[in-house]
Structure 1
Amino acid sequence: MNPSQAIVPTAAPAVISVNELTKRFGDATAVNAMSFEVTRGEIFGLVGPDGCGKTTTMRMLAGVMRPDAGGISVDGVDVLCDPEAVKLHLSYMPQRFGLYEDLTVDENIRFYADLFEIPASARAERSQRLLAASGMEQFRKFRAGQLSGGMKQKLGLTCALVHTPKVLLLDEPTTGVDPLSRRDFWRILYGLREEGVTIVISTAYLDEAERCNRLVLLQDGRARYCDTPQALKRRMPGALVSIMSPSGRAARDAISGCDGVSHVLLVGDGVHAMVDDADRRIPELREALAAAAVPYTEAEVVEPSIEDLFVALLDDGARS
């Protein structure tokens, strides 16, 4: 597939429109002619490895970094023409959110409410509701520096939401956060989506990509593929064969050179192999494993994960 043809337009009106967005730093192009649209009330993911352009894109969407080319519209506001006006429509939570560790939870929330000139009466109601949703009511008097990493992220999200934005930009908010806090964080995001908040979240965790309504796979600053997780999985070339083995590396080495095998990915309990024809290749894979004396318990076709998809599609896109 030609990457320039990979963006699938949405039928619903776009709250965020990104058109041929480009940003360079010297000779390096961090974001290269990126285009996508985000509709109201959806969770939209920017997914890719470190250095693929996620943070640079987020900063341009928030109006804190100016692109070299292209256009951005957020909730009807032209971000390039009026970057200050767009800040009234959105909230941006960068990787290192600016919490004041010497202030308490309540004091941090009050500080951000004052920045947006939220009346005291409205601030109290919003703080109570947001802290209840995040399970942090009992920590209101704790200093931010005393909180765990996951709790700091939930406090950062509360501060980002205190002025009730229509659009929420989250730049890798769960990096380094424990699994339980990640689950709680996503529960909060689902609740916000039900309230009509449009959420753009960047992540390198491919399992989180499964939780997005739609996502765009980024590679080298380009938007390679954009669609729902299920629709993207249907683009998977060939079939995915799961081989359960206690010797994953040995299994990978044994089948990597087999005919019809394009990718072999190590997983926790063995390997995933992308093949052109499962009915034809599975017997050949079994023979290769037996010849190499690699133990395994099963070899069967399975549904690909986003990680499998990412490896296969982006590698294919890099060759195109």
Structure 2
Amino acid sequence: MENMQNTTIVQDQKVIEVDNLVKRFGHFTAVDHISFDVQKGEIFGFLGANGAGKTTAMRMLCGLSKPTSGKGKVAGFDIEHQSEQVKKNIGYMSQKFSLYNDLKVWENIRLFAGIYGMKDDEIKGKTELLLQQLHFEKERNLLVKSLPLGFKQKLAFSVAIFHTPEVVFLDEPTGGVDPATRRQFWELIYEATAKGITVFVTTHYMDEAEYCNRVSIMVDGRIEALDSPRNLKAQYNAQNMDEVFQQLARKATRKSD
């Protein structure tokens, strides 16, 4: 899979803007003055070892945690003062797929669509269309817990972008799945970016970092590197992104995030 395949980046149209963002817990600085922008339609990799601060940073960007200082905008909304608007204009998917196992497939779709503020008439029509697109007509009444892992993953991502958000946050979405399923998932990501959805993704798989347009690498709360995979490999004289990551991660002193 080639880097940046099928992506349509809109230059000078920033979907995420971060300026000197800081998050402290008492005397501990979890996120230490980070700054970056993400363009519309971009696949932005947000990497860091355990303890780097990436989870804390993502929570602030999703409107779930207020920054100690600094500024941030997501989809045009201030993450500190307009957190509810931020939540309505983003999608989110975690390693646990963010689905309810004891609800049926169609019930999960409608539940999350309602949470994202979609109207009932729109939800009903789009639910049927999504089931057709996913070839899930036969699975519509199955409980999610009975689905194969790959099906859960596909459904969770589709639910996260069901309301066509400006940006979707993917928090280690491919953890625990086999390489073939991971490749299929990245095809879904490329399809989403082709529609103009921006993808902000964390991952521990460095081969996936190669698929991103740009990658940032956090070490102990700070962004130590930010560029395209190609440029980072050249800068650090590395054969692949795993070598780049290992060079930077060795500087880390923290052990947990």
TM-score normalised per structure 1: 0.70
Matched, 1:216 2:151: no
Q: Provide the residue aligned with 1:184 in structure 2.
A: 184
Q: Provide the residue aligned with 1:197 in structure 2.
A: 197
Aligned ranges 1:114-125 → 2 under 5 Å: 114-125=114-125
CA distance in 1, matches of 2:59, 2:164: 20
CA distance in 1, matches of 2:25, 2:143: 38
Cα distance change on mapping 1:36 and 1:129 into 2, 3 Å: farther
Note the C-alpha offset of 1:130.
3.8
Q: Provide the residue aligned with 2:5 in structure 1.
A: none
Note the C-alpha offset of 1:187.
0.6
Q: Give secondary structure in 2 for the equivalent of 1:92.
A: strand
- Contact 2:220/2:252, CA 8 A, preserved across alignment: no
Aligned ranges 1:219-230 → 2 under 5 Å: 219-230=219-230
Note the C-alpha offset of 1:154.
2.1
Gaps of 5+ in 2: 1-9
- Contact 1:134/1:188, CA 8 A, preserved across alignment: no
Amino acid of the residue matched to residue 48 of structure 1? G
Aligned ranges 1:113-192 → 2 under 5 Å: 113-192=113-192
Note the C-alpha offset of 1:53.
1.6
CA distance in 2, matches of 1:191, 1:227: 23
Matched, 1:110 2:110: yes
Q: Give secondary structure in 2 for the equivalent of 1:20.
A: strand
Q: Provide the residue aligned with 2:25 in structure 1.
A: 25
Q: Provide the residue aligned with 1:288 in structure 2.
A: none
Q: Provide the residue aligned with 2:87 in structure 1.
A: 87
CA distance in 2, matches of 1:225, 1:309: 9
Render the CA deviation track for 1:135-162: whole Å, top value 9, x for unaligned. 5444222101112333222222222122
Bigger shift: residues 135-144 or 193-202: 135-144
Cα distance change on mapping 1:316 and 1:51 into 2, 3 Å: closer
CA-based RMSD of the aligned residues comes to 2.3
- Contact 1:133/1:188, CA 8 A, preserved across alignment: no
Amino acid of the residue matched to residue 311 of structure 1? Q
Amino acid of the residue matched to residue 93 of structure 1? M
Gaps of 5+ in 1: 1-9, 241-303
Q: Give secondary structure in 2 for the equivalent of 1:201.
A: strand
CA distance in 1, matches of 2:136, 2:235: 42
CA distance in 2, matches of 1:132, 1:206: 33
Render the CA deviation track for 1:111-147: whole Å, top value 9, x for unaligned. 1122234234432443344445545444222101112
Q: Provide the residue aligned with 1:306 in structure 2.
A: 241
Cα distance change on mapping 1:120 and 1:82 into 2, 3 Å: closer
Cα distance change on mapping 1:151 and 1:55 into 2, 3 Å: farther
Q: Provide the residue aligned with 1:264 in structure 2.
A: none
Render the CA deviation track for 1:49-107: whole Å, top value 9, x for unaligned. 22212211111101011111111111221111111111221112234344221211111
Q: Give secondary structure in 2 for the equivalent of 1:87.
A: helix
CA distance in 1, matches of 2:136, 2:172: 21
Q: Give secondary structure in 1 for the equivalent of 2:176.
A: coil
CA distance in 1, matches of 2:207, 2:214: 13
Cα distance change on mapping 1:107 and 1:219 into 2, 3 Å: same
